[in-house]
């Protein structure tokens, strides 16, 4: 069973760091803040017991990423996978979180799916308006001849018209409206004949 108390060797190493930080002839700072900082640094730079490939100080950041990717409380294997994925993509947890928080709702709304890691890498330095524009110009899945922006625009118009006839527009209809540039009069003609 692990002891809740630090190992004497750890205490001696932290003490030595505090003395060394004072320099030769300096007065070591054993204030609560100083000791706390040295303890956090010493333990933060140790391998995490559940995911030894990560340092203790880095684990919470990758745990948040794993939570975002999985929409559930992550297990250590999820955290390890998130860290490996971000490291391979060249993204820091902060870059991922900032980009994901803007890109995910836009991608879900316009494409019905989460952003891919390749998209996040591409968008990591983009402003929110550029991320929005990227997804508006993205081909709509299954109907790649139209953009997500065209589908969204025509779906909004078709939904209002179709509702008047007790119908709900489907992707096939909306993609045709987008390709032909149908106006509301043409949509009325379509739904009145359905």
Q: Report the predicted TM-score, pTM, of the whole model to 2 decimal places.
A: 0.77
Question: Mean pLDDT of all residues in the chain?
Answer: 92
- Degrees (nearest 5) of the Cα angle 102, 114, 68? 70
Q: Is residue 27 part of a domain?
A: no
| Letter string b/e over residues 112-132, b meaning 16 or more CB atoms within 10 A of that residue's CB | eebbeeebbbebbeeeeeebb
The average pLDDT across 46-53 equals: 94
DSSP 55: B
Q: Verify that 194 and 124 share a domain, yes or no.
A: yes
Q: Is residue 99 part of a domain?
A: no
Q: Verify that 82 and 146 share a domain, yes or no.
A: no
Q: Verify that 145 and 190 share a domain, yes or no.
A: yes
Q: What pLDDT does 5 receive?
A: 63
Range of the domain at 134: 105-194
- How many domains does one find in the chain? 2
Q: Verify that 142 and 85 share a domain, yes or no.
A: no
The average pLDDT across 3-19 equals: 77
Q: Is residue 35 part of a domain?
A: no
Q: What pLDDT does 58 receive?
A: 96
User: Residue 32's CB: how many other CB atoms inside 10 A?
Assistant: 7
Q: Verify that 120 and 166 share a domain, yes or no.
A: yes
Q: Verify that 135 and 54 share a domain, yes or no.
A: no
Q: Is residue 154 part of a domain?
A: yes
Q: Verify that 192 and 116 share a domain, yes or no.
A: yes
From residue 137, alpha-carbon distances to 22, 25, 64, 163 in Å are: 58, 65, 30, 27
* All residues at 6 or more sequence positions from 24 whose CB lies less than 8 Å from its CB, including other chains: none
Q: Verify that 137 and 171 share a domain, yes or no.
A: yes
| Nearest alpha carbon to residue 39 among 70, 15, 68 | 15
Q: Verify that 119 and 64 share a domain, yes or no.
A: no
Q: Verify that 77 and 109 share a domain, yes or no.
A: no
Residue, of 6 and 43, whose pLDDT is higher: 43
């Amino acid at each position: 069973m692990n002891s809740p108390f630090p190992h004497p060797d750890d205490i001696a190493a932290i003490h030595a760091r505090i003395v060394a930080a004072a320099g030769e002839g300096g007065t070591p700072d054993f204030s609560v803040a100083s000791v706390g900082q040295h303890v956090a640094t010493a333990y933060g730079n140790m391998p995490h017991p559940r995911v030894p490939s990560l340092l203790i100080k880095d684990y919470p950041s990758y745990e948040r990423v794993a939570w975002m990717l999985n929409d559930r409380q992550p297990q250590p294997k999820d955290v390890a996978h998130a860290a490996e994925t971000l490291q391979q993509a060249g993204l820091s947890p902060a870059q991922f979180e900032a980009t994901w928080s803007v890109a995910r709702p836009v991608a879900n709304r316009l494409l019905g799916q989460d952003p891919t890691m390749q998209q996040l890498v591409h968008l990591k330095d983009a402003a929110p308006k550029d991320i929005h524009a990227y997804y508006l110009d993205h081909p709509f899945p299954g109907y790649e001849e139209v953009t997500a922006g065209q589908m969204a625009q025509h779906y909004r118009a078709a939904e209002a018209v179709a509702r008047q006839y007790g119908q709900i527009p489907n992707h096939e209809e909306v993609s045709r409206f987008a390709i032909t540039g149908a106006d509301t009069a043409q949509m009325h003609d379509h739904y009145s004949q359905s």
